[in-house]
Structure 1
Amino acid sequence: MTLAIVNTRAGVGLDAPAVQVEVHLANGLPGLTLVGLPEAAVKESRERVRSALVNAGFDFPNTRRITLNLAPADLPKEGGRFDLPIALGILAASGQLPVEALEGIECAGELALDGKLRPVPGMLPFALATKSAGRRLMVPRACADEAALAGNGLEVLPAESLWDIVAHLLDQTRIAPHVLPAPPKAQNPAPDLADVRGQHQARRALEVAAAGGHNLLLAGPPGTGKTMLASRLPGILPPLDEDDALQVAAVRSVCGLALESDWGQRPFRQPHHSASAAALVGGGSKPKPGEISLAHMGVLFLDELPEFSRSVLEVLRQPLETGEIHLSRASHERRYPARFQLVAAMNPCPCGHLGDPRSRCQCTASQIQRYQARLSGPLLDRIDLQVEVPALPPEQLTAQTQGESSDAVRERVMAARARQMERGALNSQLSGKALEAACDLNDEERTWLAEVLEKLKLSARAYHRVLRVALTLSDLQGAPKPGQPHLIEAIGYRQLDRLLGKG
Structure 2
Amino acid sequence: MSIARVQSLCLTPDGIRPCTARAQIQGGLPLTRLLNRGRNAASLRERIRSVIKGAGYRYPSGRVTLDIELARGGRLDDGHALPLALAVLLASDQITTAAGAQHTWFGELNLDGSLLPLDPDLVLACGNLQNLAGGTGAPHFLASLRQLDPTPMTATAPAPSAPSLMPGWPTELATWVLSGGHSTLVYGEPGVGKSGWSHGLCAHWPESPRVRARRAGKRLFASTPGVSDPWRLPVGANARQLAHWQHLQRGHVVALDDLPLHSQGLRDALPERMDLEPQTATLATANPCPCGWLGSPRKACRCNPATRRRWQRQLPPPLIDRFDLVARYEYGEAGPRPIDMRPIRTSWVRQQQRQGCLNAQLTCAGLNDVPGLGQSMTRALRLHGNRLGLSGRAQLKCALVARTLADLAGRDAICEDDLQTAIGLRASPHEG
**TM-score by structure 1 length?**
0.63
SS of the aligned residue for 1:432 comes to: coil
Residue 274 of structure 1: which of 219, 236, 244 is its match?
236
Residue 262 of structure 2: which of 308, 320, 334 is its match?
308
Assess, with a 3 A threshold, how the Cα gap between structure 1 residues 11 and 383 changes in structure 2: closer, same or farther. Answer: same
Distance 1:279 1:92 in 2: 44
SS of the aligned residue for 1:439 comes to: coil
Assess, with a 3 A threshold, how the Cα gap between structure 1 residues 34 and 461 changes in structure 2: closer, same or farther. Answer: same
Residue ranges of structure 1 left out of the alignment (5+ in a row): 137-152, 166-174, 257-266, 325-338
Q: CA deviation at 1:303?
A: 2.6
Give 2:327's aligned amino acid: V
Distance 2:418 2:76 in 1: 54
Distance 2:188 2:398 in 1: 22
Cα displacement string for residues 451-486 of structure 1 (whole angstroms, at most 9, x for unaligned residues): 443343322222212322333444455565344454
Asked whether the equivalents of residues 231 and 254 of structure 2 are also in contact (C-alpha less than 8 Å), the reply is yes
| 1:140 match | none
Asked whether the equivalents of residues 276 and 312 of structure 1 are also in contact (C-alpha less than 8 Å), the reply is yes
| 1:36 match | 36
SS of the aligned residue for 1:354 comes to: coil
Distance 2:230 2:107 in 1: 31
Residue ranges of structure 2 left out of the alignment (5+ in a row): 221-228
Percent of paired sites with the same residue: 25
Matches within 5 A, 1:62-461: 67-71=65-69, 76-90=74-88, 107-108=105-106, 110-116=108-114, 118=116, 122=122, 135=135, 154=138, 156=140, 158=142, 160-161=144-145, 164=146, 175-176=148-149, 178=151, 186=159, 188-194=161-167, 200=169, 204-224=172-192, 226-227=194-195, 229-230=197-198, 233=201, 244=208, 248=212, 251=215, 269-275=231-237, 292=249, 300-312=254-266, 314=269, 318=273, 322=277, 339=280, 341-375=281-315, 379-389=319-329, 397=333, 406-407=339-340, 410=341, 413=344, 420-421=351-352, 423-424=354-355, 425-430=357-362, 431-432=364-365, 435-436=369-370, 438-442=372-376, 449-461=381-393
Cα displacement string for residues 380-407 of structure 1 (whole angstroms, at most 9, x for unaligned residues): 33312112346x6xxx84xx7x898733
Assess, with a 3 A threshold, how the Cα gap between structure 1 residues 472 and 128 changes in structure 2: closer, same or farther. Answer: closer
Distance 1:471 1:455 in 2: 21
Q: CA deviation at 1:92?
A: 6.6
Larger relative CO (CA 8 A, sep 6+): 1 or 2? Answer: 2
Asked whether the equivalents of residues 373 and 413 of structure 2 are also in contact (C-alpha less than 8 Å), the reply is yes
Give 1:428's aligned amino acid: A
Assess, with a 3 A threshold, how the Cα gap between structure 1 residues 462 and 498 changes in structure 2: closer, same or farther. Answer: farther
Distance 1:92 1:419 in 2: 48
Distance 2:124 2:111 in 1: 25
Distance 1:179 1:359 in 2: 53
Asked whether the equivalents of residues 39 and 77 of structure 1 are also in contact (C-alpha less than 8 Å), the reply is no
Distance 1:66 1:178 in 2: 29
Asked whether the equivalents of residues 52 and 114 of structure 1 are also in contact (C-alpha less than 8 Å), the reply is yes
Assess, with a 3 A threshold, how the Cα gap between structure 1 residues 4 and 379 changes in structure 2: closer, same or farther. Answer: farther
Distance 1:436 1:127 in 2: 36
Assess, with a 3 A threshold, how the Cα gap between structure 1 residues 454 and 367 changes in structure 2: closer, same or farther. Answer: same
Asked whether the equivalents of residues 83 and 108 of structure 1 are also in contact (C-alpha less than 8 Å), the reply is no
Distance 1:486 1:68 in 2: 62
Asked whether the equivalents of residues 23 and 68 of structure 1 are also in contact (C-alpha less than 8 Å), the reply is yes
Q: CA RMSD in A?
A: 4.8
Q: CA deviation at 1:440?
A: 0.9
